[in-house]
Amino acid sequence: MIDFTCVGKNEAGILLFERNPGGAPINVASQLVNLGGSAGVICTVGKDEHGEYLRDLVRDMGIDITNLRFSDTMGTRCLFVYFKDGNDRYFTDYKSPRSDLEIYTGDLDINQIKNSKVFLYTSLSTIKDKPIYESTKFLLEAAKSNGVKIAYDPNFRFPYKNPEQKQMVISAIRGAHILKLTIEELDYFLGTADIFRATEELLAGNAEIIAVTMGKNGCFLRNKNAFVYQPAYDVEVLDTTGAGDSFMGALIYKLTRGNLCVSELGESALNHTAEFCNACASVSTTRRGSLLVMPTYEQALLAMKKTAKLDIKKPSWIIPGMRSN
């Protein structure tokens, strides 16, 4: 999709917008390839200038576009991005015809899934009257039957007016092996802000590792063997669009190096992973945009080495033996 990012006003007071490529799954793919991994995308874009630009861009980045399709009837999805204080972004709820929902089962090359280690999908799959719904069900079955790990990030922005859709997101959360949730999503979907209680419940099910991100307050990472907390890095934030996608891309990258048993990673490995994911996400916020701002492996390591962490009091529930109330 295209983010039209508000960059101020001209001399006449008219708003100016910058065309930035984005979309959560492709942002994750961008972070993966920038770190030296491999990734592909399953998507539909409009047969228009924006769609052709996106195809050429991600192909030239080295992202597999085997399952990228063009729509003759729907335009490329566009979203308008604005900024609050502290340069935290927000979006208008712009409802244009959406090519990104027009993913048809019959068009899919299933070999892309069979050859993958991780399948990450989107909450847009809860829209039952769109082709993406049945296609996602088909892809999930293909992933499961081929031993592919399921990753999920709700990317929650707006309250669900449809209770069935909210329940489908909750089911997706409970069905994933690799999870990334914000502290707000934890509360909204699982009914508790108690990180220990919620992650214990998820780890008793399908989850093998869970990241809970808290913006400038850092992140919590837990598997069945250990848990860690890491504060965020102190950077000058320009744009937070895609920071969560950067974190998720870095997490998937770290978990797919070699033959790691994700559930058995110890505290030291989890600490390094949390620091690395925080570094990637922090660096991504220092430039405007999302898909094109994902850091390289070297840039992430440099941030870990030279950038101070935010001086935030360690939450009491992170101290061993303590829990949140």
Give the helix/strand (H/E) hosting 165: helix 163-175
Say whether pLDDT at 316 is over 80: no
Say whether pLDDT at 319 is over 90: no
Of 193 and 247, which is predicted with more confidence?
247
Average pLDDT of span 288-294? 92
Q: Tell me the fold of 23-76+104-318.
A: UDP-N-acetylmuramoyl-L-alanine:D-glutamate ligase (3.40.1190)
HSE of 313, CA atoms in CB hemisphere, 13 A: 3
Say whether pLDDT at 134 is over 60: yes
Would you mind telling me the total number of residues written for the chain in this entry? 325
Cα–Cα distance measured from residue 144 to residue 110, given in angstroms and rounded to the nearest whole number: 12
Say whether pLDDT at 293 is over 80: yes
Q: What is the pLDDT of residue 310?
A: 84
Q: What is the pLDDT of residue 325?
A: 35
Say whether pLDDT at 320 is over 50: no
Pick the range with the lowest mean pLDDT from 103-107, 112-116, 260-264. 260-264
Q: Are 247 and 291 within 8 A, CB to CB?
A: no
Whether the model pTM is above 0.75? yes
pLDDT tens figures, 152-191: 999 887 678 889 999 999 999 999 999 999 999 999 999 9
Cα 62 to chain centroid, rounded? 19
Exposed (0-12), middle (13-18) or buried (19+): which is 306, by Cβ within 10 Å? Answer: exposed
Domain boundaries, the chain: 23-76+104-318
Say whether pLDDT at 96 is over 70: no
Q: Residue 174 carries which side chain, given as an amino acid letter?
A: R
Q: What is the pLDDT of residue 239?
A: 86
Say whether pLDDT at 256 is over 70: yes
Average pLDDT of span 115-139? 94
Of 272, 234, 265, nearest to 250 (Cα)?
272
Output the six-digit token pair for 17: 């917008």
Q: What is the pLDDT of residue 324?
A: 39
User: Terminal CA-to-CA distance of the chain, rounded, Å?
Assistant: 41
Q: What is the pLDDT of residue 321?
A: 42
Average pLDDT, rounded, for the chain: 90
Output the six-digit token pair for 74: 């729907």
Pick the range with the lowest mean pLDDT from 131-135, 241-245, 256-260, 277-281. 256-260
Say whether pLDDT at 313 is over 80: no
Q: What is the pLDDT of residue 258?
A: 78
pLDDT tens figures, 192-234: 988 999 999 999 999 999 999 998 889 999 999 999 999 999 9
Average pLDDT of span 109-121? 95
